[in-house]
Amino acid sequence: MKILITGGAGFIGSAVVRQIIRHTHDQVVVVDCLTYAGNLDSLAPVSNDSRYAFERVNICDRAGLDRVFAQYQPDVVMHLAAESHVDRSIDGPAAFMQTNIIGTYILLESARQYWLGLSAARQSAFRFHHISTDEVYGDLPGGDEPFTETTPYAPSSPYSASKASSDHLVRAWHRTYGLPVLITNCSNNYGPYHFPEKLIPLTILNAIAGKPLPVYGDGAQIRDWLYVEDHARALYLVVTQGVVGETYNIGGHNERRNIDVVRTICCLLDELMPDKPAGIGHYEELIAFVADRPGHDLRYAIDGAKIRRELGWRPHETFESGIRKTVAWYLHNQTWWQRVLDGSYSGERLGLSR
């Protein structure tokens, strides 16, 4: 297959690209506009492969998308391009509305026009896979059962509301126009190449530098943590074996309180990096509780029974094995995260045109 991956230079997107190039015979075309979260360094391990191509195109650019579809003739679209950081959506929601809602609409229309021009056999085989989040389901009370594919949507933040909107658009394009779509909703991802503003990499890098480890509120918020390489395997399985029109929830089966995640990282760093910054006995001493985020959901949890039952997927990593791999990766890949912190990774600094 030839797979077009939007947002392929992002955290999850780059994991999917690396997974496909390393473990299949498929071709990949990455479409990414290289905002702050897009990083070509994350694609460096596979970028010299003849089955890889990169196009710097914004999903809001209809002409650019039409050109990419015409030039590369993909068999599959995996749509991961999105603004995804809740704090940023609270401070500046407009970008989230533009990318996640309008961008998804423009991509759907470009894909639909391309799909209508295919032969009957290629139309039947074509797939549009939209990758979304468990945050569209909103807050989950502590004693309630995890989210299923039929849980009603109740988004709490501008980010999750924009992703819920994009999910609805994808379903509408299937129902109204017959576009062969698949949707997945995942729990919190973590692992190598994660942008340092997110909880786990922020905690690791702040601890290394001897900086405070900020924890919202009392840290009691619960998330289900999914190792990004497990997620990449699941996404490829869905796009190749999933049933058109269906939604699949992908979870890590690893519910943890945020404060416990931070403490686990501190313990691992005590073991793996015993030479601490001056004045620190244990990394936990750096934990600093800060004012809670507005509208902060207390708990997310995914019921992954459907994808396990119908497609045979389950995560390989426990939280304990995955977080150890993640901490070790950051300790051994300072060049990658240092280029993020100093800004030298950006497309503009690399001389790439928009």
Nearest in space to 340 (alpha carbons), one of 154, 177, 235, 204: 204
3-class DSSP assignment, residue 340: helix
159 given a catalytic annotation? yes
Q: What are phi and psi of 24, to 5 degrees?
A: -135, 180
The catalytic position among 134, 224, 229, 297 is: 134
pLDDT of residue 350: 42
Burial letters 123-156, b for 16+ CB under 10 A, else e: eeebbbbbbbbbbbbbbbeeeeebbebebeeebb
**Beta-strand pair 2-6/27-31:** parallel
Considering its fold, how many domains does the chain have in total?
1
Q: What are phi and psi of 344, to 5 degrees?
A: -75, -10
Residue 214 lies in a domain: no
The separation between CA 78 and the C-alpha centre of its own chain, rounded to angstroms, equals: 12
- CATH number for 146: 3.40.50.720
Residue 85 lies in a domain: yes
Residue 140 lies in a domain: yes
270 given a catalytic annotation? no
Burial letters 271-293, b for 16+ CB under 10 A, else e: eebeebeeeeeebbebbeeeeee
The catalytic position among 105, 114, 137, 159 is: 159
C-alpha span between 265 and 270 (Å, rounded):
9
pLDDT of residue 111: 98
Residue 145 lies in a domain: yes
Nearest in space to 148 (alpha carbons), one of 350, 313, 306: 306
The boundaries of the domain holding residue 68 are 2-194+225-253+295-319
Residue 149 lies in a domain: yes
Residue 28 lies in a domain: yes
pLDDT of residue 279: 86
Residue 207 lies in a domain: no
What is the spatial order of strands in the sheet that 222-227 belongs to? 188-190, 222-227, 255-257
pLDDT of residue 207: 97
The catalytic position among 41, 61, 83, 135 is: 135
193 given a catalytic annotation? no
pLDDT per residue of the chain (354 residues) written in tens, 0 to 9: 999 999 999 999 999 999 999 999 999 999 999 999 999 999 999 999 999 999 999 999 999 999 999 999 999 999 999 998 888 999 999 999 999 999 999 999 999 999 999 999 999 999 999 999 999 999 988 778 999 999 999 999 999 999 999 999 999 999 999 999 999 999 999 999 999 989 999 999 999 999 999 999 999 999 999 999 999 999 999 999 999 999 999 999 899 999 999 999 999 999 999 999 888 999 999 999 999 888 888 899 999 999 999 999 999 999 999 999 999 999 999 999 999 999 998 654 443 332
Residue 164 lies in a domain: yes
